[in-house]
Amino acid sequence: MVKRPATTEREVAALTLAQLNLQIAWANYRVTRMRLPHSLRKRSMQRLIWLETLREKLHGIPAPDRGRF
């Protein structure tokens, strides 16, 4: 069963670390591998940064410094 992506901090907090890592991996794939229009790539990067920041806050795994996008 495919679950929709978490869109709020509360939904992300309810995910297991493995589920959160899967959502981060998908966001990273969208940014690095898919040929998306600039606006969608930018939104994917924002989501990736947001998810990594929440993972750091919730699980203590340092978020990589992605710099400016």
Q: Tens of pLDDT along 11-36?
A: 999 999 999 999 999 999 999 999 99
pLDDT, residue 48, reads 95
Assign 68 a pLDDT band (cuts: 50, 70, 90): low
Q: If you average pLDDT over residues 45-61, what whole number do you get? A: 95
pLDDT, residue 65, reads 87
Instruction: List, in order, residues 6 or more apart from 24 with CB less than 8 Å away.
Output: 48, 51, 52, 55
User: Would you state the structure tokens that stand for residue 32, as one six-digit string?
Assistant: 């690095």
Length of the chain: 69
At 62 the three-state DSSP class reads coil
Q: Where are the alpha helices (DSSP H) in the chain?
A: 9-13, 17-32, 38-59
